[in-house]
Amino acid sequence: MNLKRIPTALVLALAMSSSFVQAQQAAAASAPAAQVWKYKTKRLNAGEVDALLAQPAKLLLLDLRRPDELIKYGSFPVFLNVQNKDLEQQLAYLPRDRTIVTVSNHAQRAGAAGDLLTARGFAVAGATGSEDYEQEGGKAVVHIVAPAPRAASTPP
């Protein structure tokens, strides 16, 4: 093949497309692990969560998020909140007579917590993310409204 006959524009286009493909591959490799499920705990879809919510006497929703996340993204109507960083120290306070569903924004923290709880002998139905649940059409998430700041008290 005679390289002198290949137009410069074609060489440039091939070089640019090669760089573009490499950039896409690098971006995919560094993409957040949100799409990759690496936990033993089952990732629940909206229908599975709704079925569990239909039996509240048997269920404990354990939300692992910070208060600001609960306000920003909402959560289920009734839940126990233990922040993820404190979970291991709070295990003695969790009831063992209920099936647990762990909750976070996109279920990643919930999956890790589900694995920890299962390893410690708790019955875990699975993990869900409140945002994922809503995106799948789930209607049970309640959006919490932060209370208005208290007015500074004026001296009498």
Q: Hey, where are the domains in the chain? A: 1-31, 33-135
Q: For residue 113, which of 85, 141, 75 has the smallest C-alpha distance? A: 85
SS3 (DSSP) at 75: strand
Share of residues in the chain with pLDDT > 90 (%): 67
- pLDDT, greater one: 144 or 116: 116
Q: Residues 97, 122: contact at Cβ < 8 Å?
A: no
Is residue 145 over pLDDT 90? no
The CATH superfamily holding the domain 33-135 is Rhodanese-like domain (3.40.250.10)
Residue 60 φ then ψ, to 5°: -130, 120
CB atoms within 10 A of CB 98: 18
Tens digits of residue pLDDT in 103-128: 999 999 999 999 999 999 999 999 99
